[in-house]
Amino acid sequence: MRVLLTGGAGFIGQHVLRELTRRGHQVRVVDSMRVDVHGTDEAWRPPPDVEFVAADMRDNDAITQALSGIDSVIHLAAKVGLGVDVNDLPDYAASNDVGTAVLLAGMANREVQSLTLASSMVVYGEGVGLCRQHGRVGPGPRSASDMEEGRFEPPCPICGVPLETSLVDEDAPLDPRNAYASSKVAQEFYAANWARLTGGSVAAMRYHNVYGPGMPKDTPYAGVAAIFASALRRGEAPKVFEDGGQRRDFVHVRDVAAATVMACERHDTDVRAFNVGSGTPRTVADMANALAKALDGPSPTITGHFRLGDVRHITADSSRLRNELAWLPNIAFADGMSELANELTPNGVGSKREVLR
């Protein structure tokens, strides 16, 4: 199959590229190589058998030309991060919303019928919690007074009782809480509109906390891993906020790449969202302990400090991906964290060029 891979020079993109070529696909990569994503000293070059097009996703002529002869598209190109300031909105909308719209129009013109879209767990916002009286509910806001007293679990918005954790499935309400999340929801909606108009298929891959070789320091939860590793290398205990019980689903980037390529190969009808997670929730304290063990450093310190607005728990139910596409993660958490600890440099920056070439 001849695949157009957008964002193929990025963190996840390079692993997807490797998986595509390993499985015998012909690949054309489109990437803007924008400085705020790749830096000014990035010297990434594609493998010799991969065609590379340096273009902005908003360049209609370049994207339409890049789609020539393509059978399927994997769309990873996006401005990432969170976008917590209102002034961030225009760049996220221009980069992610408009870029995706241009791609979809080009696919319609070139009669390309298959799209695998990189979405994110952030579309769920705070996710869902379980109240023993009211069932599955959206968590209520956590107050500063409660958190100062060490009460970190979010309350039921109806009765105020602390919620139990619950896995988030793909049918959970979408509740984007920042510019990046809003742009991911928009990408999914644009793709669904395209599919209805053209009869195309969409696999929306909602990635959870992706980590691994080449991870940049400014992705969500990559930064805290780098901070923990830097402290450990100084002989200091990593400092963990709240009680360390914040739950996430840390999934290795090579497992994410395999899931993405399998969706590209196997999903060929309708519009379907897939959570992409390990299926085993871990806490932030688990991550700190795993890095401490890998680096033979002191055990983490639980500080009780907090940031208002942080999500307490967001963990995936990835059974749809396992059942419908026969995907299973292969990289154990301890092994992945050990690899990450050894790859992070003292200033918390991984080397994509050394790891992925």
Angle at 123 between CA 117 and CA 125, to 5 degrees: 165
CATH value of 2-128+166-344 in 3.40.50.720, 3.30.70.20, 3.30.200.20, 2.60.120.260: 3.40.50.720
Extents of the domains making up the chain: 2-128+166-344, 129-165
Q: What is the pTM of this model?
A: 0.91
pLDDT of residue 252: 95
pLDDT per residue as tens digits for the range 170-193: 999 999 988 999 999 999 999 999
Between 344 and 74, residue with greater pLDDT: 74
Q: Which of 27-41, 128-142, 220-234 is the most confident on average? A: 128-142
pLDDT of residue 52: 96
Bridge partners of residue 26, in order along the sequence: 2
pLDDT of residue 95: 93
Q: How far is CA 347 from CA 144, 227, 230, 338, 344, in A?
A: 32, 8, 7, 17, 8
pLDDT of residue 310: 84
Task: Select from 260, 263, 9, 4 the least CA-distant residue to 110.
Answer: 4
pLDDT per residue as tens digits for the range 288-338: 999 999 999 999 999 999 988 788 999 989 999 999 999 999 999 999 999
Q: How far apart are CA 323 and CA 308, in angstroms?
A: 37
- Tokens 């273009």 belong to residue: 55
Between 82 and 126, residue with greater pLDDT: 126
Tell me: pLDDT of 352 over 50. no
Give the tokens for residue 218. Answer: 């400014």
Average model confidence (pLDDT) for the chain?
A: 90
pLDDT per residue as tens digits for the range 220-278: 555 688 788 888 989 999 999 999 999 999 999 999 999 999 999 999 999 999 999 99
pLDDT of residue 32: 93
pLDDT of residue 41: 54
pLDDT of residue 307: 86
